[in-house]
A and B are shown apart, each in its own frame.
Chain A
Amino acid sequence: MSARETILKTITANKPSLTELPAIDLVEVIQYNDLLQQYKTVLQSIGGGTVELQDINSLKEELQTKKANGDFVLNRIASLGDVEESIAHLTAPDLAAVDTAYVEGTIAVAENGAIWLYESQMGNRLLPFICQHLVIVIEKKNIVATMHHAYQQIESAKDGFGVFLAGPSKTADIEQSLVIGAHGARSLIVYII
């Protein structure tokens, strides 16, 4: 018998009798009066920054200024101007010097500050992790209360990769002292339109 068959047969022989899956009723789940305020408060508490924008022009200008200063920026958001389309093939050495990446988010979660990013939005899986600074743009109407609501609205296996990203990279592995900027982005600013 192969290893696979042995393991599966033992599990079949040893598993308990079938029990039911629970029904997850969202009536039981926390609600927030002001999703935007809740989202901002939580994201700030985990080290992220938030900026509310009436329109995207000021962010467009910021991006242009960075480019003009010679910063290595990668833009993945069409409404901010030219999009770097074919970056999927770029490797770690290519992306290691990226200063700021601009990525559009799908859904933001008020209870924990997380934002869902599809691989198609990143353009390259490594980008939101290897960049020094990350900027994400979300629409206010796409803020939901909890993870239950978020999974109803995304298709987590649609792309080859996807991530719930909440705040900048961090660690507390040295004497429980919180340090922002472990291996991933050193900062996260979320622009809410």
Chain B
Amino acid sequence: MSKSSLSHAEAAEQFIKDEPRTDWHDETLWFVRQKRDKAAHGLPEWEQLREWASQIKNHTLSNLDNYLLEFEANANANGVTIHWAPDAADHNRIIFDLIQKNNIQKIVKSKSMLTEECGLNEFLHAKGVETIDTDLGERIVQLRYEAPSHIVLPAIHLKKQDVSDTFHEHLNTEKGNNDPQYLTEAARQHLREKFIESELAITGVNFAVAETGGFVVCTNEGNADMGAHAAKIHIACMGFEKMIPKAEHLSVFLRLLARSATGQPITTYSSHFNKPREGQEMHIVIVDNGRSRQLGRADFRNSLKCIRCAACFNTCPVYRRSGGYSYHTAVAGPIGSILNPNIDMRANADLPFASTLCGSCSNVCPVKIDIHDQLWKWRQVLVEEGYVDASKKVGLKGMAFVLARPGLYRFAGKAGRAVMRLFPWLLNNKLNPWYKQREMPAPPKQSFRDWYIKNKQQ
């Protein structure tokens, strides 16, 4: 898959070269954000719901070992096999072993960001095993050898003519027929065949309930159910933070999830899996992959409350104008930028800087993760650990030096304004990264301080 090795800023530069498409991406995601607002404002208890969700998740993290044990015992009693995977490699190996042991040829998979995080498709492909992604958006990007660019809307970076071209090539649809209805119908027919012949279905998990040993999977398309109920083996993959204590808590999360994600009152299907059906095998792979380390970081453990609604993506002025691929990780956007440095600090050191720290992400988060605070805190950790470019470090140190000295700050401001007025070409050139894609503002004649002193005296 096309995971970029470029930094966020470099990849974003590629993305915004196509200006109409960047505008479309920006406006479309903002429209999704507005639908979220409308749904949220429809419930007078919205803020109370967020508070409940946040407290339930805080409590669960504070008692997580016990809830995982309770979940395991109940799932076992339900006839479900639990596997524990310390990292991505173990997760992939556990699934491959089940495939080999049962001599499986046909595999379907519904959306699971965890399997993306673990690189499951690529791993199985290298072993000669093909997995069919069944979420429409994921199938589109899979046929194009791409990765999802958004965790809820995997193909949001594409236009319908792109999908039409891809389907013409792979599914023999009419060339140039861009009608979404027609293209979706073609995918329905194509994937029905795959569901019916599948032997093994892989799904994600939205919520795992300690009290019952059951788990809930949410989709609009019905693809998780078509796969899981048709295949003789069902493997559900979950990060251990998907746990919640009781079934009654599902009410809080199911009320928040779809409203935050797309503005729908609930997803079409909220499927509660408790026991395998007669003759079926059901497995759950519980994955750590750095999560237990994140749990130990007091400043960052809060990120484990995430329910993957992507509201923070849709509202983020940086994500909307830089696209999912610029984050070069399975989970992009603001939440990805605080999760991924934990997984690999060096490779993802650029991500906490891909933010204006405007705080909109934290305001829309249904479980009240302090995303923008954590972005700011990660920047400090990354600088301290030496994962930040020398030039950025020098710049920041220089700024800190100036900001700590009011006299120098006033002099520098005055000098800067004079330079911008007299020698604009000094800043309006390619060497200044702030000049890219934008004009520098006209310099003000006086600083706010000068203006304030003058007007106060009047």
Contacts and interface: CB of A to CB of B under 8 A. Distances in A.
Interface of A: 2-4, 6-8, 10-22, 24, 28-30, 42, 46, 88-89, 91-93, 96, 109, 111-114, 124-126, 129-130, 146-148, 150-152, 156-157, 159-177, 179, 181-185
- Closest 4 interchain pairs by CB? A184-B222, A14-B296, A112-B265, A160-B275
Nearest to B225: A129
Classify chain B: how many residues form its interface, as a range: 35 or more
B247 interface: yes
B226 A183 contact: yes
B140 interface: yes
A14 B137 contact: no
A130 B44 CA distance: 37
Contact of A151 (B63, B140, B184, B250): B250
Given A28-B48, A160-B274, A183-B226, A93 B196 contact: yes
A124 B28 CA distance: 39
Interface stretch (B84-92, B96-104, B331-339, B371-379): B84-92
A7 B288 contact: yes
A16 B275 contact: no
Contacts of B187: 182
A175 B187 CA distance: 15
B275 A169 contact: no
Interface of B: 28, 31-32, 43-45, 48, 51-52, 55-56, 58-59, 61-65, 68-69, 78, 84-86, 90, 134-137, 140, 153-156, 158-160, 163, 180-181, 183-185, 187-188, 191-192, 195-196, 209, 212-214, 220-223, 225-226, 229-230, 240, 245, 247-248, 250-252, 254-255, 262, 264-278, 286, 288, 292-293, 295-296, 298, 301
B414 to A, nearest CB: 49
Contacts of A170: 220-221, 268
A16 to B, nearest CB: 5
Given A17-B62, A112-B255, 20 more contacts: A3-B85, A7-B292, A15-B295, A16-B295, A92-B195, A109-B266, A111-B255, A112-B265, A113-B265, A114-B270, A129-B222, A146-B255, A147-B254, A156-B250, A162-B272, A167-B268, A170-B268, A174-B180, A179-B181, A182-B222
Contacts of A91: 230
